[in-house]
């Protein structure tokens, strides 16, 4: 939300260079601007190798978007940092840095709120407020890099689009974000290190497979059949489990990239051994991966976390039937790790 001025953080390198040329500047000035942009500079004034006149022209045409960190929570183990960020229009989003031994991973938001209505999710309680702009997604990466100290080892190496919002419901902005974050002159993050999580918007999954953006696709399935899935995810009324799995197969065939199915275990709802058997049957001959995630309990819903015995039985059944399955490492439970929870507890604390 930038008013009349364009957020330069949301532009591709060639668009920035063209913009500078339209101002009567040479192309190399564009490259100089690009070299500053992702270092967390807040104003064109700080781009000290540019002439004052160029900086003034930039100032008149663009803004450098940013997200303002207003709260930060670090898990007890120190492996998860959750940031609450203020946008220019005073909406609030969250992003989370997770420290894995293969590098720092940023989980970012793609929308303010979400209209998908998954019953276990805090992000959807107020519905969709708006889509995030490309620059607002890039700004989350820049903010995290600035917080971590920018160096090669400490900066963000992996990105997961799993914060609030359904990425494929903000399709055009998300595709441009992916191309920009991957661009060698942008943030230069390999497509292999990017994962997009969807609740299964089949037509856009098929479109994504054709974009030549070979990222990892993570599909929130959470149930092996339509009847059960409808109880958890309203999107199941629009797209059948079989259609979602087939779109996943198509994505794999088209891109060669691994597809992961996310399965949140909810006590006595979808964590039965029969559910695991049905899931294994549906995924037969599909070289995919299943991530089993014991649910984080949130205030508003009645769901309970599955017992250890039930989690183990579910995982072991899948394994015994040949499914590649991992139980996802649970990060940051003590800092309200499920999407949307930090934001809600912050807003609640303001209301008290």
Catalytic residues: 94, 339
| DSSP per residue, 93-126 | EEEEEEEETTEEEEE--SEEE-SS--TT-GGGTT
Q: For the CB of residue 129, give the shortest distance to ligand SF4 in the complex, in Å.
A: 12
Site for ligand SF4 in 4-43 (CB under 6 A): none
Q: Say how far apart CA 129 and CA 94 lie, in whole Å.
A: 14
Q: How many residues does the chain have?
A: 352
Q: For the CB of residue 192, give the shortest distance to ligand SF4 in the complex, in Å.
A: 23
User: What are the residues facing 126 on neighbouring strands?
Assistant: none
| DSSP per residue, 127-156 | -EEEEPPHHHHHHHHHHHHHHHTS-TTTSE
Point out which span in 119-127, 274-282, 289-297, 300-308 binds ligand SF4 (CB under 6 A). Answer: 119-127
Closest to ligand SF4 by CB, 136 or 166: 166
Q: Is 63 helix (H, G, I), strand (E, B) or coil?
A: strand
Q: For the CB of residue 128, give the shortest distance to ligand SF4 in the complex, in Å.
A: 9
Q: Say how far apart CA 82 and CA 72 lie, in whole Å.
A: 6
**Count of residues that interact with ligand SF4, criterion CB under 6 A:** 12
Among 108, 159, 241, 339, binds ligand SF4 (CB under 6 A): 339
Q: For the CB of residue 263, give the shortest distance to ligand SF4 in the complex, in Å.
A: 13
Q: For the CB of residue 42, give the shortest distance to ligand SF4 in the complex, in Å.
A: 29
Q: Work out whether 336 is an interface residue with ligand SF4 (CB under 6 A).
A: no
Q: For the CB of residue 124, give the shortest distance to ligand SF4 in the complex, in Å.
A: 3
Q: Work out whether 114 is an interface residue with ligand SF4 (CB under 6 A).
A: yes
**Which two three-digit tokens encode residue 236?**
């199941």
The secondary element (H helix, E strand) that includes residue 71 is strand 68-74
Q: Work out whether 123 is an interface residue with ligand SF4 (CB under 6 A).
A: yes
Among 124, 216, 270, 306, binds ligand SF4 (CB under 6 A): 124
| DSSP per residue, 239-301 | S-HHHHHHHHHHHHHHH---EEEEEEEBTTTT--HHHHHHHHHHTTT---EEEEEEPPP-TT-
Closest to ligand SF4 by CB, 19 or 332: 332
Among 92, 107, 118, 181, binds ligand SF4 (CB under 6 A): 118
Closest to ligand SF4 by CB, 69 or 126: 126
Angle separating helix axes 273-282 and 241-255, nearest 10 degrees:
50
Q: Is 206 helix (H, G, I), strand (E, B) or coil?
A: helix
Among 75, 80, 145, 164, binds ligand SF4 (CB under 6 A): 164
Strands 216-220 vs 259-265: parallel, antiparallel or unpaired: parallel
Point out which span in 36-44, 75-83, 162-170, 292-300 binds ligand SF4 (CB under 6 A). Answer: 162-170
Q: For the CB of residue 151, give the shortest distance to ligand SF4 in the complex, in Å.
A: 32
* x/- map, 233-272, ligand SF4, by CB under 6 A: ----------------------------------------
Q: Residue 340: what are its φ and ψ, rounded to 5°? A: 85, -15
Closest to ligand SF4 by CB, 9 or 235: 235
Q: Say how far apart CA 28 and CA 140 lie, in whole Å.
A: 27
* x/- map, 195-214, ligand SF4, by CB under 6 A: ----x---------------
Closest to ligand SF4 by CB, 208 or 280: 208
CA-to-CA dists, residue 196 to 99, 173, 203, 282, angstroms: 18, 13, 15, 22
Q: Say how far apart CA 270 and CA 263 lie, in whole Å.
A: 9
Contact set with ligand SF4 (CB under 6 A): 114, 116-118, 121, 123-124, 164-166, 199, 339
């Amino acid at each position: 939300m930038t008013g009349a001025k364009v957020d330069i953080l949301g532009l591709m390198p060639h668009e920035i260079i063209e913009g500078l040329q339209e101002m009567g500047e040479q192309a190399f000035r564009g490259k100089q601007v690009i070299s500053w942009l992702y270092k967390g500079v807040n104003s064109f004034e700080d781009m000290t190798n540019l002439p004052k006149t160029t900086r003034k022209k930039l100032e008149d045409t663009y803004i450098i978007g940013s997200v303002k960190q207003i709260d930060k929570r670090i898990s007890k183990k120190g492996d998860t940092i959750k940031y609450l960020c203020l946008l220019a229009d005073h909406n609030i989003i969250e992003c989370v840095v997770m420290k894995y031994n293969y590098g720092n991973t940023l989980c970012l938001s793609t929308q303010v709120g979400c209209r998908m209505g998954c019953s276990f999710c805090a992000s959807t309680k107020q519905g969709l407020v708006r889509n995030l702009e490309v620059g607002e997604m890039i700004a989350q990466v820049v903010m995290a890099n600035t917080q971590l100290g920018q160096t090669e080892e400490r900066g963000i190496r992996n990105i997961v689009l799993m914060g609030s919002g359904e990425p494929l419901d903000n399709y055009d902005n998300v595709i441009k974000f992916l191309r920009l974050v991957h661009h060698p002159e942008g943030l230069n993050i390999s497509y292999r290190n990017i994962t997009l999580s969807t609740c299964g918007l089949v037509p856009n999954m098929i479109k994504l497979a054709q974009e030549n953006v070979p990222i990892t696709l993570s599909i929130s399935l959470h149930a092996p059949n339509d009847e059960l899935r409808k109880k958890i995810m309203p999107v199941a009324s629009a797209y059948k489990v079989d259609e979602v799995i087939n779109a996943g197969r198509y994505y794999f065939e088209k891109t060669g990239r691994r597809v992961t199915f996310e399965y949140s275990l909810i006590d006595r709802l979808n964590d039965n051994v029969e559910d695991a058997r049905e899931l294994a049957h549906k995924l037969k001959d599909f070289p995919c991966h299943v991530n089993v995630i014991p649910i984080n309990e949130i205030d508003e819903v009645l769901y309970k976390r599955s017992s250890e015995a039930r989690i183990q039985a579910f995982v072991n059944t899948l394994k015994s039937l040949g499914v590649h399955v991992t139980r996802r490492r649970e990060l940051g439970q003590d800092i309200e790790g499920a999407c949307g929870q930090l934001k809600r507890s912050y807003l609640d604390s303001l209301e008290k």
